[in-house]
C-alpha cells in the first residue's frame, strides 16, 4: 500500500513515518506544493530493488532467464515438485553438523 503526504507533514512526523514504513513495508510519497518530490521506502525494499536492478543489468543472467522462459513456453520446464525431488536427492548425502 502507498500513501501520500505533504513535505511539511513529513518533516513533523518523520520518526513515525520511518517506523511505519519499516514495519509495514508501505511506500510514502512526499509532495511539495502538491507534486511528488520523493518516495520513502524501507531499507529492505531498497536493497531488494538494488538487487533486482543488478540482476536485470547482467547480460548473462538475462540471457539465462530468456532461455528458461523460452523452455517453459515449449513445455520443457519443471514443476516445483520435480525441482524439490531433485534437490532432495542431490543433497541427501550432505552431512549436517
pLDDT of 43-73, one tens digit each?
999 999 999 999 999 999 999 889 888 888 8
pLDDT category at 1 given cuts 50, 70, 90 is: confident
Mean pLDDT of 17-22: 95
β strands within 1-97, DSSP E: 2-6, 27-32, 35-40
> Which cell is 1 given?
500500500
Q: Residue 43 has what pLDDT?
A: 96
> Which element (helix H / strand E) includes 23?
helix 7-24
Contact 21, 41 (CB under 8 A): yes
What's the rounded Cα separation, in Å, for the pair 27 and 41? 5
**Any idea which fold 2-44 has?**
YefM-like fold (3.40.1620)
pLDDT at 85 over 70: yes
Contact 7, 32 (CB under 8 A): yes
Spans of all domains in the chain: 2-44
> Which element (helix H / strand E) includes 33?
none
Amino acid at each position: 500500500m502507498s500513501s501520500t503526504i505533504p513535505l511539511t507533514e513529513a518533516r513533523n512526523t518523520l520518526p513515525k513515518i520511518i517506523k511505519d514504513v519499516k514495519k509495514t513495508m508501505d511506500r510514502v510519497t512526499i509532495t511539495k506544493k502538491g507534486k511528488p518530490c520523493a518516495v520513502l521506502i524501507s531499507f529492505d525494499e531498497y536493497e531488494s530493488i538494488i538487487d533486482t536492478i543488478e540482476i536485470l543489468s547482467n547480460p548473462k543472467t538475462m540471457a539465462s532467464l530468456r532461455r528458461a522462459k523460452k523452455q517453459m513456453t515449449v513445455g520443457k520446464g519443471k514443476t516445483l515438485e520435480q525441482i524439490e525431488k531433485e534437490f532432495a536427492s542431490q543433497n541427501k548425502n550432505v552431512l549436517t553438523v
